[in-house]
């Protein structure tokens, strides 16, 4: 009996160590628009994991592999399934209520684009979705990110947005209130996989940090990088501006995991439940 109790105690301690891991404490915010950290256990090689049919970032912490899963804003609270190494693992998604934001735009085309605008928007969206869905084998240099700029937040992630009284897509990133011309720095090492000037986003840069972990910066006044360029943490990608659909200069930053836009505040220690 003492031997059985000792074994049970060891198993409990092992489980608690995994549940209380550094990465779990840092990133596990399993809500719509958040991140779920799922323990995949120990194995010699990294298991392949997928969620909603898309590959998921997998990292090793001590002896265990962890799946870092982006949860789309469209996911309802409840049980979700992750596929890994031939197994189906479940995790729970909690509820989070996001506030509303009402914005007035003088340019009515940025609220209700004309037919030519819509053709351009559709083509640009397809191009950006391809970038979000890219998945390189590189392990990210770090999961705790730097802020791309130093400044106060002017708009949080997930806000339900109304332009001239009409509801549009929720806010998919963080906005920082900083002056035009402020340098924007990549929050982690990565490769530039897309640049462009888009109808809504203006001057835009996508940086792939590895395994579908991607940063996107937009509304820039200037782009200072090229596609294919390898960047180290803190490299300048461009300067703050107000191009595209913007009411003034600010820095907009998206973070995507497995093609799900998630709250960047999670990765800079600023998440609010």
Class of domain 100-268 as given by CATH: mainly beta
Mean pLDDT for 2-18 is: 36
Using a 10 angstrom Cβ sphere, with 0-12 exposed, 13-18 middle and 19 or more buried, the burial of residue 181 is exposed
Strand intervals (E) in the chain: 35-41, 49-51, 54-55, 57-61, 64-70, 78-84, 87-93, 100-103, 153-155, 160-163, 166-167, 174-176, 183-185, 190-198, 202-210, 213-223, 230-231, 236-240, 251-257, 260-262
Q: Are 259 and 25 in contact (CB under 8 A)?
A: no
Q: Radius of gyration (Cα) for the chain, nearest Å?
A: 20
Between the alpha carbon of residue 200 and those of residues 128, 162, 192, 217, the distances in Å are: 12, 15, 20, 12
Q: Residue 271 — pLDDT band, cuts 50, 70, 90? A: very high
Predicted confidence (pLDDT) per residue in 49-96, tens digit: 999 999 999 999 988 999 999 999 999 999 999 999 889 999 999 989
Percent with pLDDT over 90 in the chain = 72
pTM of the model: 0.87
Predicted confidence (pLDDT) per residue in 102-139, tens digit: 666 566 666 677 888 889 999 999 999 999 999 999 99
Q: Are 39 and 101 in contact (CB under 8 A)?
A: no
In this model, does residue 19 exceed pLDDT 80?
no
Q: Are 249 and 176 in contact (CB under 8 A)?
A: no
- Give the pLDDT of residue 7: 35
- How far apart CA 70 and CA 93 sit, in angstroms, is 11
Other beta carbons within 10 Å of 91: 18
Sign of the C-alpha dihedral computed for residues 10, 16, 19 and 22 taken in this order: negative
Predicted confidence (pLDDT) per residue in 161-206, tens digit: 666 555 556 788 999 999 999 999 999 999 999 999 999 899 999 9
* 192 CA to centre of own chain: 16
Percent with pLDDT over 70 in the chain = 85
- Give the pLDDT of residue 162: 63
Q: Residue 160 — pLDDT band, cuts 50, 70, 90? A: confident
- Give the pLDDT of residue 5: 35
Predicted confidence (pLDDT) per residue in 225-244, tens digit: 999 999 999 999 999 999 99
The encoded tokens of residue 152 equal: 């106060």
- How far apart CA 141 and CA 152 sit, in angstroms, is 26
H runs (alpha helix) in 111-203: 115-132
- Write down the domain spans for the chain: 2-93, 100-268
Mean pLDDT for 20-47 is: 94
> For residue 17, what is the enclosing H or E element?
helix 2-19
Class of domain 2-93 as given by CATH: mainly beta
- Give the pLDDT of residue 114: 80
């Amino acid at each position: 009996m003492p031997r059985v109790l000792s074994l049970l105690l060891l198993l409990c301690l092992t489980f608690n160590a995994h549940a209380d891991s550094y990465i779990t404490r840092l990133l596990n915010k399993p809500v719509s628009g958040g991140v779920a950290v799922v323990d995949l256990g120990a194995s010699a090689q990294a298991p392949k994991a997928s969620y909603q049919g898309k590959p998921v970032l997998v990292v090793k912490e001590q002896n265990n592999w962890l799946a870092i899963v982006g949860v789309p804003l469209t996911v309802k609270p409840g049980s979700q399934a992750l596929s890994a190494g031939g197994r189906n693992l479940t995790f729970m998604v909690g509820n989070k209520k996001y506030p509303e934001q009402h914005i007035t735009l003088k340019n009515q085309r940025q609220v209700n684009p004309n037919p030519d605008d819509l053709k351009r928007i559709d083509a640009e969206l397809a191009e950006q979705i391809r970038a979000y869905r890219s998945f390189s084998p590189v392990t990210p240099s770090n999961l705790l990110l730097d802020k791309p700029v130093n400044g106060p937040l002017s708009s949080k992630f997930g806000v339900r947005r109304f332009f001239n009284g009409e509801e549009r897509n929720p806010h998919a990133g963080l906005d920082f209130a900083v002056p035009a011309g402020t340098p924007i720095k990549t929050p982690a090492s990565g490769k530039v996989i897309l640049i462009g000037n888009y109808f809504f986003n203006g001057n835009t840069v996508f940086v792939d940090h590895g395994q579908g972990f991607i940063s996107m910066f937009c509304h820039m006044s200037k782009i200072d990088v090229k596609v294919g360029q390898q960047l180290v943490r803190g490299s300048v990608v461009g300067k703050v501006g107000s191009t595209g659909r913007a009411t003034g200069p600010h820095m907009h930053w998206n973070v995507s995991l497995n093609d799900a836009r998630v709250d960047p505040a999670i990765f800079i220690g600023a998440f609010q439940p």
